[in-house]
Amino acid sequence: MDNFEQIFKRFINQLPGCEVLENIFDKHHLRQFSNADYFLKSREIVSELKCLEQDSVPKLQKFVDELLKTRGKIFYGEMAFDKYIKDFPDKDKLNKKAIKIVTHALKNDIGKANKQILETKQALGLSNSSGLLIVINVNNRALTPDLAKHALLSLLNTRSFFGKANYNSISACIYLSEAHPEFGLLPFIVIERGRSKAKDLLPIDIKYLENLQEKWAQFRGTPLIKGTEDILDKLKMNSNRDSRPKKRHEVWREEYRKDRYMVNLSDDEFVKEATSTIKVLLTKDATTGKIGMKKDFTLLPELTHCFEEANLRGLDFRRIRDKLEEI
């Protein structure tokens, strides 16, 4: 199976007015610098492709595991990271560190792409050509579409102490993701820099880039889904992404998320409700005094609902455990 870079190269090769720079430099033996990848629109646009192939989930998980060891917050099942850290006084610092882990490769790629576009323009005398960064997320699942959008905009719009754009050879970005099939078919997203009209950034033909969306859809044989960066904030996960039979607790969690009947309870009220639910299921051995669980499966869905509500709130389960110890 061809890797995505080869697929995209074939796409560029069949477009009128577009060139693969590798072919040009190999033919004329001009490869004396780190060149960009493509010319678009009869060399009005110099483009560099970056594929995100390394998943940052293991590094992020290592960071989370350290938090679990040192912070002591207890939960069952899955809990969103922002919910887990919401009660920590340094939550903003922790969130920034997590984002840095996930976007580290992206930052490095933007810096390299900016240099490659600049050197290509200088070598071939294309000072008036604008620069385009194409980012294809092949395997970095930790970099979700919404995070990718915000990270790209934030990084591309950073400026030096003197106000100059740090990446002033890149006028716009195209983002594609193959790493998140659970979001369904992602569009060919065009991300325009917020300061594209600034004096140190060359303007780029956004309509031309949007037209590439249609050509890309035709090339891939997929429906055309036009979109700008705003569409990334509106993505909803496809609940049918997993064809394997769901386990009972997964079904019960999904059912509860559709009808969060405890959502309006305060944390104190919820702790009381969850404690009562768990208490009904507990049994105490008269001889040993050990606490066990009754084999009453009719109450398991309700118990799972309590776990899920606690996770959705980011509630430390020790609050419930402490109440149970008082019983």
Q: Which of 204, 234, 264 is at the close of a domain? A: 234
Torsion of CA 252, 254, 260, 263, to 10 degrees: 100
Percent of the chain with pLDDT over 70: 77
Q: What mean pLDDT is predicted for residues 276-292?
A: 76
Q: What mean pLDDT is predicted for residues 108-120?
A: 93
Whether 180 and 220 share a structural domain: yes
pLDDT confidence band for 118 (50 / 70 / 90) = very high
Q: 0.75 cut: is pTM over it?
A: no
Tell me the pLDDT tens digit for each residue of 48-81: 999 888 877 788 888 888 888 887 777 766 667 7
Whether 92 and 209 share a structural domain: yes
Model confidence at 104: pLDDT above 90:
no
Q: What mean pLDDT is predicted for residues 278-301?
A: 74
pLDDT confidence band for 180 (50 / 70 / 90) = low
Q: pLDDT: is 265 or 1 the higher one?
A: 265
Q: What mean pLDDT is predicted for residues 144-166?
A: 79
| Mean pLDDT over the full length of the chain | 78
Q: 57, exposed or middle or buried, with CB in 10 Å at 0-12, 13-18, 19+?
A: middle
What pLDDT is stored for residue 311 in this prediction?
84
Whether 223 and 263 share a structural domain: no
C-beta separation of 151 from 143 below 8 A: yes
Q: What mean pLDDT is predicted for residues 98-108?
A: 83
Unique residue bearing structure tokens 């984002």: 99
Q: Which of 25, 234, 221 is nearest to 123 (CA)?
A: 25
Integer Cα distance of 279 and 327 in angstroms: 8
Longest dimension (CA), the chain: 89
Whether 69 and 214 share a structural domain: yes
Residue 316 lies in a domain: yes
What pLDDT is stored for residue 243 in this prediction?
44
Percent of the chain with pLDDT over 90: 19
Q: Which of 194, 209, 234 is at the close of a domain? A: 234
pLDDT confidence band for 2 (50 / 70 / 90) = low
Whether 96 and 188 share a structural domain: yes
C-beta separation of 136 from 177 below 8 A: yes
The number of residues making up the chain comes to 327
- Tell me how many domains the chain contains: 2
Whether 69 and 147 share a structural domain: yes
How far CA 313 is from CA of 92, 98, 263, 274, 318, in Å, comes to: 18, 20, 9, 13, 14
Model confidence at 297: pLDDT above 80:
no
Whether 21 and 156 share a structural domain: yes
Q: Domain of 217?
A: 4-234
Q: Which of 234, 259, 287 is at the close of a domain? A: 234
Whether 168 and 268 share a structural domain: no
What pLDDT is stored for residue 67 in this prediction?
83
What pLDDT is stored for residue 152 in this prediction?
84
What pLDDT is stored for residue 234 in this prediction?
46
Tell me the pLDDT tens digit for each residue of 189-247: 677 665 444 556 778 888 898 888 788 878 877 665 555 545 444 444 343 444 456 67
What pLDDT is stored for residue 29 in this prediction?
53
Tell me the pLDDT tens digit for each residue of 7-52: 889 999 999 999 998 877 665 555 567 889 999 999 999 999 998 8
Whether 280 and 224 share a structural domain: no
